[in-house]
Chains A and B, each alone.
Chain A
Amino acid sequence: MSRLFTKDTQAIFWNNNKSAIQRMLDYDYVIGRETPSVAAIVAPTSSAKFEKFFWGPDEIMVDVFRSTAEAAKAHPNADVLLNFASFRTAYDVSMEAIAMDGQFRVIMVTAEGIPERLARKMNQAARDAGVTVIGPATVGAIAPGAFKIANIGGTIENIINSKLHRAGSAGLVTRSGGLFNELCNIISLNADGIAEGVAIGGDRFVGSVFIDNLLRMESNPDVKYMILLGEVGGTEEYKVIEAVKDGRITKPIIAWCIGTIAKHFSSGVQFGHAGASANADRETAEAKNQAMREAGIHVPDSFNDLPRVINEVYTKLYNEGVILEIEEPEIKTIPKVRRPKQFICTISDDRGEEATYAGFPISSVATPDTGKSIGDVVSLLWFKKVYPKWATEFIETVIKTVADHGPAVSGAHNAKVTARAGKSVVESLVTGLLTIGPRFGGAIDGAAKYFKYADDNNLTPAEFLAYMKKQGIPIPGIGHRIKSLRNPDLRVEGLKKFAQEYFPATPLLDYALTVEQLTTSKKDNLILNVDGTIGILMVDMWRALGYSEEEIDEFIESGTLNSFFILGRTIGFIGHVLDEKRLAMPMYRHPMDDILYDVKKAEEI
């Protein structure tokens, strides 16, 4: 891993920190990334499935999950975790992520004040798993022109001013996040910017230390020289000195330790970060600056003198031809004013030459020569997928099968009564449609739901019956008024035949038929009816198309199955309404002798 991040690096952002995520996406847009650097957000208490963000002038949706595991499963390529949990939970979040073998390469931890013992455990676990931890207590890291963590670099204006939108030639490592930004500015003013930068964090125990980052930068060909900003306290700078002495680091290093002030105060004053407190002489800023100077590291006389030294080293490398002139890339600009969109559409688009259904021009699915059917249109507009022929034909078969079931069923009756009251086609139609629900047409949903439940849980037919009895619900999709085993429903026979011939497999139907054997042995008319057959075969269709069980459950929950009934039956209802109009039937009044009047005088209470 010579480069910490590339232009393809994607992260999972733990905590829905909208402004930090937006800054990452703004950065992505400005530098011309193709994919957003944030693949998904983990927000444990959120019920949202996605969050909208600006992508340049447009908007995009970023997936939201309730756990890191779910996010990682959906985005296996996202190998960076940006852990923005609080100091209370950051440890647990990191440990869970470290344990996900092979998922995360880098974990950045922003929380300040994680208990030291927990931070040490976390850092050790990461080291054992080969995971690089940046932080805790950090603003992050950046690979200019490729990937930036959260708020590092500040606003887009500052990023461009500090030349953080494209790779320069310095590698930068600091403890402090605020000074990181400042140094980027200094480097842009006195050299050509940075190729990679890391703020390692201010806590006493941080995951990756100066030497880890400098050794990686040594092997990163984009980095031509390195700048280290240390602090009073600790001995990490001595590891860098060792590496310089034994030749593991050969690129020039410019370094300075801040906190020279501490020598004036014997004890008690904590200057700077929790990690910044000298316990011994060699941990003072002076001692470290002196030791680094003696090892041949470029050490200025003071922080104020740092810009001059940077310019000196840069100019030398430039004159030697180690550093080349950088061609300034074009920068995409982000509009000053952006308005979030009120609506989102993911199924069709009418902005181009020709409107499209899920990316397909209407003409490519509409005319007979395309060979496409209503089933194809449904698959595009309802499921945003191109279903194979057997599936679109099945959908079409379902729609045709449920189109009408005569005038006596409650929906058709309501539509007819309304039409006779002089209402319009649409008014009469919706009256009929509004009848569709748990009792009228609902058996499709119910059958799919309960048969799938029984199959998922490996219930035998007898156990399934016992289960439904306990629930106090008659089995949806079983039973017919007049049809029986001896007098089968030909619609059901037709659907079954089609499925058995063209579906790759029909496991749920097979299961349902074993249930039917048991129910019909009790009563002849307890057959699998048309609603049940449709619901069950839809599940088989989706399974064969490769949907996960969770996705199918979601279809059932969201009423997708009922939608087939609504769509099909609309054809029949419109027929009944037009029939009424044609017949010019008068206003309907129900005969009074068909009503049982049982009205008692109300008691006073």
Chain B
Amino acid sequence: MAQRAIREYDGKALFSKHWNEYFDGFHYPFKSVLVTSGDELREKAKEHGFEWLNQEPLVVKPDMLFGKRGKNDLVLFRVEKPGDVTLEDAAKWIDEKQSHDVTLLSGQHGRLTHFIVEPFTPHTQEQEYYIAATTVGEDDVLYMSAEGGMEVEEGWDEKVNEVKIPINMNDADIEKAIHANIPQDIPDESKGTFATFALQFFKFFRDMHFAYLEINPLVLIGNDAHILDLVARLDDTAGFLMKDAWGDIEFPTAFGMEDQSPEEKAIAEADSKSGASLKLTILNPQGRIWTMVAGGGASVVYADTIADLAGVKDLANYGEYSGGPTTGETEFYAETIFDLMTRYPDERGKILIIGGAIANFTDVAKTFTGIINALEKWAPKLKEHKTKIYVRRGGPNYEKGLKDIKEAADRLGLDMEVYGPETHVTDIVRMAVENEK
């Protein structure tokens, strides 16, 4: 996967955990809680260390990876006037927001489940800043602005200074580059403090293997840093290096993407335990054309071609298996697909594409043994759904694999056509679609 978003709460917790190591000279009062209901918040307030939930005015926001919460009217910071939200107000608001689905301005639709609750931080516009870092092309880029909040996004070009930091730049040059680019609008007496923070921020971004890190607004009151809003993505391939630094961090699914189905979860779990690659995304559970394709590139090409020739509505799933999965893994993957594709009837019948390019090293006969085992169990169901199967594959031992699967289909009475490398990889999609007409 690589870049994956984390919750605002988890991002702030990471800052807090490493604060003393990176942010020398600044203080960060990490006061945040993540809750999934009003009651949980009420319970939290009884715990030692969370007395502030009863003592201070609060701010509540959903913490589910989407932005523009203010514009979506999903930030609670006032009842009558700003800074008067009590614990009970917050708990009730959470329960209310959770009681129905919401649709964001972006069109994302779903149910709110996670909320971050923090103290209301009174501050002036002058104390707000913007700071962010990410990777653009081959370089890191640090973004800094004297203005935080929504304003910065509206006047991006005039208000934001960008510092390009190549991967091999040394710390002294990074410091120089940042100092040379401190936004002019920051008052002179604050420039030094901001530059120090910016350098520390960049090192934290870099060393923690963030792919994207944005604080907007950042509020600096003297040496107190307040991270009012945070967006963060981590490079999850660095997980093995960062076990201790990240702790047990969660990578939630994007809001509006319904939580993964049990089948997708099962495949993801099998994938994580295997040296091979097993991926499954259900695009349309009632779709008519199901694919079981070997290889990351080939799977894309099949999806492209199905969308081109049959229309995207008919495409039921996207996925791939590759990297030499065992017979057992392939069987499990095939069974999952056969199960999914025989749940909803379609009077036109179903199409199953068992596709793949010419494998470099995967033993085709071995993986096909897994598919055949699954076919044996699911043949009655597949026939019931009038499934027409198209197979195309090449690679080590493919002759045996194709022969075996065809024999199995004949024996089981399945309607199957089988092709090898002499047929263009996606031509079976064309055949399947044309046979319909």
Measured between C-beta atoms, what is the minimum distance from A187 to chain B in Å? 12
A276 near B300 with CB under 8 A, answer yes
Does A139 count as interface, using CB distance less than 8 angstroms?
A: yes
**Interface of chain B, main secondary structure:** mixed
Quick one: which of A166-212 are within 8 Å of B by CB?
Answer: 174-179, 181-182, 185-186, 189, 202-205
Does B211 count as interface, using CB distance less than 8 angstroms?
A: yes
Does B424 count as interface, using CB distance less than 8 angstroms?
A: yes
Measured between C-beta atoms, what is the minimum distance from A200 to chain B in Å? 12
Q: How far is the CA of A270 from the CA of B4 in the complex (A)?
A: 12
Nearest residue, chain A, Cβ from B425: A182
B318 cross-chain contacts in A, Cβ below 8 A = 261, 269, 271
B300 near A205 with CB under 8 A, answer no
Instruction: Spot the interface stretch: A48-56, A300-308, A399-407, A593-601.
Output: A300-308
Nearest 4 A/B pairs, CB to CB: A176-B297, A178-B295, A115-B238, A182-B357
Measured between C-beta atoms, what is the minimum distance from A392 to chain B in Å? 51
Quick one: which of B388-437 are within 8 Å of A by CB?
Answer: 394-397, 421-422, 424-427, 429-430
A260 near B211 with CB under 8 A, answer no
A19 near B361 with CB under 8 A, answer yes
Does A258 count as interface, using CB distance less than 8 angstroms?
A: yes
Given the known inter-chain contacts A120-B138, A272-B299, A274-B2, please indicate yes or no for A302 contacting B304, CB distance below 8 A. Answer: yes
Q: How far is the CA of A177 from the CA of B296 in the complex (A)?
A: 9
Nearest residue, chain B, Cβ from A234: B137
Nearest residue, chain A, Cβ from B323: A112
Enumerate chain A interface residues (CB-CB to B < 8 A). 19-20, 87-88, 113-118, 120-121, 123-125, 128, 139, 151-155, 158, 161-162, 174-179, 181-182, 185-186, 189, 202-205, 229, 231-232, 235, 258-261, 264-274, 276, 285, 302-304, 307
Nearest residue, chain B, Cβ from A119: B237
B235 cross-chain contacts in A, Cβ below 8 A = 115-117
B309 cross-chain contacts in A, Cβ below 8 A = 304
A264 cross-chain contacts in B, Cβ below 8 A = 307, 312
Given contacts A185-B358, A271-B303, 11 further A-B contacts (CB under 8 A): A115-B209, A116-B237, A117-B209, A121-B167, A153-B360, A179-B295, A189-B422, A264-B312, A272-B299, A303-B305, A304-B430
B358 cross-chain contacts in A, Cβ below 8 A = 154, 158, 162, 178, 181-182, 185
B107, B257, B303: the one within 8 Å of A268 (CB)? B257
A158 near B254 with CB under 8 A, answer no
A87 near B138 with CB under 8 A, answer no
B237, B297, B298, B300: the one within 8 Å of A261 (CB)? B300
B135, B254, B303, B427: the one within 8 Å of A304 (CB)? B427
Given the known inter-chain contacts A158-B394, A181-B359, A265-B283, please indicate yes or no for A128 contacting B304, CB distance below 8 A. Answer: no
**Number of residues on chain B facing chain A (CB within 8 A):** 61
Q: How far is the CA of A20 from the CA of B361 in the complex (A)?
A: 9
A174 cross-chain contacts in B, Cβ below 8 A = 297
Q: Which of B209, B211, B396, B424 counts the most chain A CB atoms within 10 A? A: B424
Measured between C-beta atoms, what is the minimum distance from A204 to chain B in Å? 6
Q: How far is the CA of A265 from the CA of B300 in the complex (A)?
A: 13
Measured between C-beta atoms, what is the minimum distance from B113 to chain A in Å? 17
Does B367 count as interface, using CB distance less than 8 angstroms?
A: no
Measured between C-beta atoms, what is the minimum distance from B432 to chain A in Å? 12
A176 cross-chain contacts in B, Cβ below 8 A = 295-298
B300 near A181 with CB under 8 A, answer no
Q: How far is the CA of A259 from the CA of B302 in the complex (A)?
A: 9
Does B356 count as interface, using CB distance less than 8 angstroms?
A: yes
Measured between C-beta atoms, what is the minimum distance from A317 to chain B in Å? 22
Measured between C-beta atoms, what is the minimum distance from A154 to chain B in Å? 5
Does B166 count as interface, using CB distance less than 8 angstroms?
A: yes
Measured between C-beta atoms, what is the minimum distance from A259 to chain B in Å? 5
B281 near A260 with CB under 8 A, answer no
Quick one: which of B277-295 are within 8 Å of A by CB?
Answer: 281, 283, 294-295
Chain B window 341-380, contacts with chain A (Cβ cutoff 8 Å), 1 for yes, 0 for no: 0000000000000001111110000000000000000000
B304 cross-chain contacts in A, Cβ below 8 A = 258-261, 285, 302-303
Given the known inter-chain contacts A115-B209, A116-B237, A116-B238, please indicate yes or no for A181 contacting B138, CB distance below 8 A. Answer: no
B206 cross-chain contacts in A, Cβ below 8 A = 117
A117, A120, A125, A155: the one within 8 Å of B395 (CB)? A155
A260 near B359 with CB under 8 A, answer no
Does B86 count as interface, using CB distance less than 8 angstroms?
A: no
Nearest residue, chain B, Cβ from A181: B358
Does B150 count as interface, using CB distance less than 8 angstroms?
A: no
Q: How far is the CA of A304 from the CA of B426 in the complex (A)?
A: 6
Given the known inter-chain contacts A179-B298, A302-B308, please indicate yes or no for A158 contacting B395, CB distance below 8 A. Answer: yes
B395 cross-chain contacts in A, Cβ below 8 A = 154-155, 158, 181
B237 near A177 with CB under 8 A, answer no
A117 cross-chain contacts in B, Cβ below 8 A = 167, 206, 209, 235, 238
Residue pairs across A and B with Cβ atoms less than 8 A apart, 22 shown, are A116-B3, A121-B168, A124-B166, A124-B167, A153-B360, A177-B297, A178-B298, A178-B358, A178-B359, A179-B357, A185-B394, A186-B425, A204-B2, A261-B306, A267-B257, A271-B303, A272-B300, A274-B237, A302-B305, A303-B301, A303-B426, A304-B308
B295 near A258 with CB under 8 A, answer no
Q: How far is the CA of A66 from the CA of B60 in the complex (A)?
A: 58
Quick one: which of B302-340 are within 8 Å of A by CB?
Answer: 303-309, 312, 315, 318, 322
Measured between C-beta atoms, what is the minimum distance from A426 to chain B in Å? 53
B168 near A155 with CB under 8 A, answer no
B297 cross-chain contacts in A, Cβ below 8 A = 174-179, 202, 229, 231, 258, 272-273
Does B245 count as interface, using CB distance less than 8 angstroms?
A: no
Q: How far is the CA of A218 from the CA of B437 in the complex (A)?
A: 45
Nearest residue, chain B, Cβ from A260: B304
Nearest residue, chain B, Cβ from A154: B360
Measured between C-beta atoms, what is the minimum distance from B74 to chain A in Å? 19
B359 near A154 with CB under 8 A, answer yes
Measured between C-beta atoms, what is the minimum distance from A424 to chain B in Å? 57
Q: How far is the CA of A264 from the CA of B254 in the complex (A)?
A: 17
B357 near A181 with CB under 8 A, answer yes
A115 cross-chain contacts in B, Cβ below 8 A = 209, 235, 237-238, 241
Measured between C-beta atoms, what is the minimum distance from B325 to chain A in Å? 14
A124 near B421 with CB under 8 A, answer no
B301 near A161 with CB under 8 A, answer no
Chain B window 24-47, contacts with chain A (Cβ cutoff 8 Å), 1 for yes, 0 for no: 000000000000000000000000
